[in-house]
């Protein structure tokens, strides 16, 4: 069942999300202003608690939109395939994104 968005006013980011922002002041983040950065960080490095929170907060369609808008950039091939299954992203789209030349350079950096 797809998660549905909820948006209580003035909600502070949960600790599971704040922990992901070790490189900046997490208390300065605001959902409305920093939504794209928060979504990206949670999709790529979020714990189960952070992912559960963002699915409730934004909904699966917002996560799918973020991935499609960014063409999977910022996610490893494994993460992208995971989200493909969870969010019902067309496999042909994911295959095309993974074949993009600009991505190949990045994805091959860690291979022997």
Distance (Å, rounded) from C-alpha 1 to C-alpha 14? 23
Distance (Å, rounded) from C-alpha 46 to C-alpha 72? 16
The number of helices, as runs of H, and strands, as runs of E, in the chain is 7, 0
Question: At 2, is the pLDDT very low, low, confident or very high (cuts 50, 70, 90)?
Answer: low
Phi-psi category of residue 59: left, alpha or beta, with phi > 0 → left and psi -120 to 50 → alpha: left
pTM: 0.79
The pLDDT of residue 4 is 44
Count CB neighbours of 54 within 10 A: 28
Domain positions in the chain are 16-110
Question: What is the torsional sign of CA 51, 2, 5, 39?
Answer: positive
CB 86 within 8 A of CB 61: no
Window from 29-33, 77-81, 106-110 with minimum mean pLDDT: 106-110
């Amino acid at each position: 069942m797809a998660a549905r968005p909820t948006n209580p006013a003035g909600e502070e980011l949960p600790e599971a999300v704040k922990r992901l922002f070790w490189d900046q002041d997490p208390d300065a983040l605001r959902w409305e202003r920093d939504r794209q950065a928060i979504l990206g960080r949670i999709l790529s490095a979020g714990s189960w608690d952070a992912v559960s929170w963002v699915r409730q907060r934004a909904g699966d369609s917002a996560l799918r939109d973020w991935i499609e808008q960014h063409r999977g950039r910022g996610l490893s091939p494994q993460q992208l395939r995971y989200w493909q299954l969870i969010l019902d992203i067309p496999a042909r789209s994911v295959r095309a994104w993974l074949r993009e030349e600009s991505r190949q350079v990045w994805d091959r950096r860690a291979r022997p």
